[in-house]
Structure 1
Amino acid sequence: KQQTSILSAATIMTSASMLSAVAGLLIKRLLNHYFFENSQEALEAFWLAFQIPDMMFQLIILGALSAAFIPIFTSYKKESYQKAFHMSSIMMNILLLVFVGVGIFVFIFARQITEFRTGAEISPDQIEIVVNLTRLMLLAQFFFAISNFMTGILQSFQRFIIPALSPIFYNLGIIIGVVFFSSQLGVYSAGLGVVIGAFLHMAIQIPLVYKLGFTYSFSLNFKYPGIKQFFKIMPPRVFAIGASEIRKLALGFFTTSLGSLSYLTMLYALTLMTVPIRLFGVPIGQASLPFLSEKSGKDERGKFIGLVLQSLNQISFLTFPASVLLLILRIPAVRLVFGTKDFPWATTLLLGKLIAVLAISITVQALAHLLTRAFYALKDTKTPLYIAGFDLFIYFSLSYYFVFHTGWNVMGIAFATVLTAFIELFLLLFFLDRKVGGLVSKAFWYPQLKMLIAAFFMAVSLYLPFRVLDELVFNTTKTIELIALSVTTGTIGMVVYLYFAALLNIRELKIVLDLINNFGPWRKILSKSEEVLLETGVEGEEL
């Protein structure tokens, strides 16, 4: 079924993302169960091996799709489905050819690349595992490359359900690999699972793409008009993603310079921190691009600004309480997600400290994701590129200083992450406001301030019952009672947040209450475009 508003599309994507996020957390717990006690270094090597294949995919495939593919495909689709599909085939052929060429290079020089990008504290055995798994997971990224073209086509037709479900099948593949092959293959079973999952990620989308009329054609026509436009738009986005990927490599280098398991610990902290971003920031950002693209013309600038403002407010309304929950309940979260019987208490406490710092930036990073998509809808990929490059410089400088000159170790990297996130958001807001006008106004700051106040009282109402119940009522050495404590205090906190949201007349609360009170006709509620497409005046006030 076609989704007709950002909120309806994002709701479906969020629901599937929630299932995928839960599956992803279960996978990390599963890997801890199978490998943490006896194969800690191998487990860390498995996650390090992801970086180069994933970097290839992000740069060559996702960079094109996220910035260039959907706007160009949408414009062709308005003229002719056949031309749109032909253009997509040419684009896919060109990028897959580049991907295979780079993949062959990485396969041959995997060892040299691994030795260059890791710090002094990584062991030779870990390097061997990283090299082998890197080569294996190149195949997975090839499947992902094809799959994400399918995703781009489906999202251009405003079909979001199947693309949103595909990550669940990816996680299922990893589970199959680990559960059925770990005894024979060790940590390599997880690599096999990644390949299986990537294939399933692709396979589930192909039938619907062909049902929509897609016909594949082998062509490498670089002179096709859409391809020329694609190569004009794509490079800045690729460089922007390149900055993000270099940042990931920097994380690997700095943490492997600190000692064994530093990378794994930081990765786990980032995993929990990014769950709310994946649930709310990414789906709303992804779902917004086709809608923002349609309203990007100068004659509809008011609607464009209104759409951006409401999307920002929706993200904040959902991520503020998520940040508070994670901040206050960070130790229970770590224990429930990662705390197998062999998971050290010292590591649990360190993860809690890292999450306490990182949780501050959850809403900030989620908002930045949406603002970046707003630039892409305006076919401006250069501004996010410059901001990403500056952000990378700040991140690298701060991380280097905190790691090597303060003795803060991984905590220093967490502080660098938070500081650069705030700088990025400020710059994105500043330059988008200069471009469209009326964005940084009362229509943005006033709702944000009200939500922040509600989140503050939520934090107080969470912390006090949590401390009292932890000391006097629940025996948190038992998993069931730990869950009961988390659910009880979390419920109290959410009730307080919703109460203050109502008291402060936060508009986004009405949408949530409508969904709850009218659960039966939820499709009708979500698809009301007037709930999302409010037109704004010059200063961003709602008309």
Structure 2
Amino acid sequence: MTASHSQARALSGRQIARAAGVLMLAYVASGVLGLVRTAAISAAFGAGPRLDAFLAAQRVPETLFTLVAGGALGSAFIPVFTRFLAADDGEGAARLANAVITLLVAAATAMAVIAGVLAGPIMEYALMRGADPATQALAAELMRIMLITVVIFGISGLAMGVLNAHQHFLAPALAPSLYNVGLIVGALALAGPWGVHGLAWGAVIGSLLHFGVQIPVLVRLRFRYRPLFDPRMPAVREVLLLMGPRVLGLGIVQVNFWVNTALASGMVAGSVTALNFAFTLMFTVLGVLGQSVGTALFPTLSTLSAQEDWVAFRRTLADALRSVLFLSIPAGIGLAVVSRPVVALLFERGEWTSTDTAGTAWALALFSVGLAGHAVLEILVRAFFALHDTWTPVKIGTLAMAINVVLSLVLIRLFGYPGSTDFAHGPFGGLALSMSLATAVESGTLWVLLRRRTGGLDERRVLGGAARTLVASGLMAGAVALFLAALPDLPVLIQTLGGMALGGVVFFGAALALRVDEAQALPRLVLRRVER
């Protein structure tokens, strides 16, 4: 990578909003393609052992990518890389990027090879311990194919960090869309001749597209990779030191997913699929409402922290929290209410049955009630990273993991584990609810700690607005529930669109009546646009 002439800069609130808007559109595109991907996969395979095996196999490369080059590297790399750009030291930034890429490729390759050798035992004794031997063997085969993606995603993940540090958000945000395209190709074109193995090769194609969409912008930034193995470079060591706690924290999150997969594999066939598809739907909404704002916000918070402008730091953070709560509270509650028609509309075709719909909707409703907690967590964790504090989120995340595991073991038994054969309200619902509750505890704890660190987050305005938003969301949920109960025989398309339209009108009207700032700001913005 040659020196870049770009400098890091803090964006204003309006610029952050515009960047977040661009990211939201990109996440919407990714979400739509993600839904198409999931619909194609569900129609091809249904909720059963083959898809359970694929999703379990996907867990390992996803974990390795997350630990090596996902949020861990980005959260550690961006603050250090941004400091070089802020000092107009393009050469130092270039050396840092080259050294980190070289180290990253070596580590990702080694970990993928080791995981491939251990694929059989991983499935037999960890992820699929409750499944039959044939399903375990299939999962190991699929896992070995998809381990190729670890190295590709590693390089692509660092490219995303470089572009975000330069305030280029669109190409990195579009990258997940291209990964979804690869999986769609796998489901529609490759699954026919190769079965579920074609889906695994689709994941490999998607990882190549994930990186490829970023190449044009990297070229415009004069990105030139030159191998540089220098782990003793001070900046590289700083990245690794910052990354260490984050790796531990993300590892803790992955432990939750592994525990959920292992427990669900011992439940009725299709439980792993229902749990994963429901989480994917919730996470799609989270990407639009939470990750988009967090991604746009992080470089600015890092720059304000480096400049020690704490007044602007607090104001920017509080504004982001208000916006995210205003969006995520009604979205989560609304998605829970319309979960069944939404799942039926998206997936109920081909091999996917109404029973599969009922079980997935059950899990989706219990995941969705925790959407606001997940969205706030996206903001708060990045605020700690911008302060170069990666240990506090790890410590609180460890506590949340322990709470999640304990709640999981308790709630699945309350919901019928181990003897239940009721898929429509299966014990995997306890796994979804435990994650929602544990995330709420994690977000609340981080909020209190960050408030002490920064000297306040304008709590009266932020939490007051959130309380009024919650009331408006409750009125919305009641109206939509009555609509669905009164007209149960409507086609699922009408139920879904009608419920969403009614919910939107009721929520916005109630939010205006309750004087929620964000609801009142939207009409003013529209009027200003019209007057221009």
The answer to whether the Cα contact below 8 Å between 1:162 and 1:205 also exists between their aligned partners in 2 is yes
Partner of 2:69: 61
Residue deviations 1:75-106, cap 9 Å, x none?
11123222212211101111211111111111
Larger mean CA deviation between 16-25 and 405-414 belongs to: 405-414
- Offset at 1:452? 1.1
- Offset at 1:488? 2.2
Partner of 1:493: 503
Partner of 1:43: 51
Counterpart mapping for 1:136-535 below 5 A:
136-296=145-305, 299-403=308-412, 407-408=416-417, 409-439=427-457, 441-468=459-486, 470-471=487-488, 475-476=489-490, 481-513=491-523, 516=526
Q: Distance in 1 between matches of 2:370 and 2:394?
A: 21
- Offset at 1:223? 2.5
Larger mean CA deviation between 95-104 and 353-362 belongs to: 353-362
The answer to whether the Cα contact below 8 Å between 2:332 and 2:372 also exists between their aligned partners in 1 is yes
Cα distance 1:287–1:221, how it changes in 2: closer, same or farther (>3 A)? same
Residue deviations 1:427-480, cap 9 Å, x none?
111111121121262122111112112212222222223322x24xxx43xxxx
Partner of 2:107: 98
- Offset at 1:142? 1.5
Q: Distance in 2 between matches of 1:312 and 1:215?
A: 37
Q: Distance in 1 between matches of 2:272 and 2:186?
A: 23
- Offset at 1:288? 0.9
The one-letter code of the counterpart of 1:439 is: L
- Offset at 1:502? 2.0
- Offset at 1:201? 0.9
Alpha-carbon RMSD = 2.2
Aligned-partner SS, 1:132 = helix
The answer to whether the Cα contact below 8 Å between 1:237 and 1:381 also exists between their aligned partners in 2 is yes
Cα distance 1:517–1:92, how it changes in 2: closer, same or farther (>3 A)? farther
Of residues 128, 131, 151, the one that matches 2:137 is 128
The one-letter code of the counterpart of 1:71 is: P
Q: Distance in 2 between matches of 1:21 and 1:441?
A: 32
The one-letter code of the counterpart of 2:188 is: V
Aligned-partner SS, 1:392 = helix
Partner of 2:420: none
Q: Distance in 1 between matches of 2:199 and 2:338?
A: 30
What residue ranges of structure 1 are gaps of 5+ in the alignment?
A: 526-543
What residue ranges of structure 2 are gaps of 5+ in the alignment?
A: 1-5, 418-426
Larger mean CA deviation between 203-212 and 375-384 belongs to: 203-212
The one-letter code of the counterpart of 1:179 is: L
Partner of 1:25: 35
The answer to whether the Cα contact below 8 Å between 1:121 and 1:260 also exists between their aligned partners in 2 is no
Aligned-partner SS, 1:50 = helix
- Offset at 1:256? 1.0
The answer to whether the Cα contact below 8 Å between 2:31 and 2:285 also exists between their aligned partners in 1 is no
Residue deviations 1:44-97, cap 9 Å, x none?
111111111111111111244232111111111123222212211101111211
Q: Distance in 1 between matches of 2:359 and 2:190?
A: 32
Larger mean CA deviation between 344-353 and 242-251 belongs to: 344-353
Larger mean CA deviation between 154-163 and 409-418 belongs to: 409-418
Larger mean CA deviation between 47-56 and 508-517 belongs to: 508-517
Aligned-partner SS, 1:32 = helix
Larger mean CA deviation between 402-411 and 430-439 belongs to: 402-411
The one-letter code of the counterpart of 1:500 is: A
Aligned-partner SS, 2:305 = coil
The one-letter code of the counterpart of 2:469 is: M
The answer to whether the Cα contact below 8 Å between 1:324 and 1:455 also exists between their aligned partners in 2 is yes
Cα distance 1:121–1:310, how it changes in 2: closer, same or farther (>3 A)? same
Q: Distance in 2 between matches of 1:325 and 1:404?
A: 27
Q: Distance in 2 between matches of 1:485 and 1:260?
A: 29
The one-letter code of the counterpart of 1:83 is: G
Instruction: Say how many residue pairs are matched.
Output: 512
Q: Distance in 1 between matches of 2:59 and 2:495?
A: 37
User: What percentage of residue pairs aligned between the two structures are identical?
Assistant: 26
Residue deviations 1:228-286, cap 9 Å, x none?
21122111111000101111111111111223211111112222222221111111111
Q: Distance in 1 between matches of 2:94 and 2:39?
A: 41
The answer to whether the Cα contact below 8 Å between 2:468 and 2:514 also exists between their aligned partners in 1 is yes
The one-letter code of the counterpart of 2:453 is: K
Larger mean CA deviation between 406-415 and 212-221 belongs to: 406-415
Partner of 1:14: 24
Of residues 97, 103, 107, the one that matches 2:116 is 107
Cα distance 1:519–1:161, how it changes in 2: closer, same or farther (>3 A)? farther
The one-letter code of the counterpart of 1:57 is: F
Cα distance 1:356–1:381, how it changes in 2: closer, same or farther (>3 A)? same
Q: Distance in 2 between matches of 1:137 and 1:419?
A: 32
- Offset at 1:358? 2.1
Aligned-partner SS, 1:296 = helix
Larger mean CA deviation between 505-514 and 140-149 belongs to: 505-514
- Offset at 1:516? 4.9
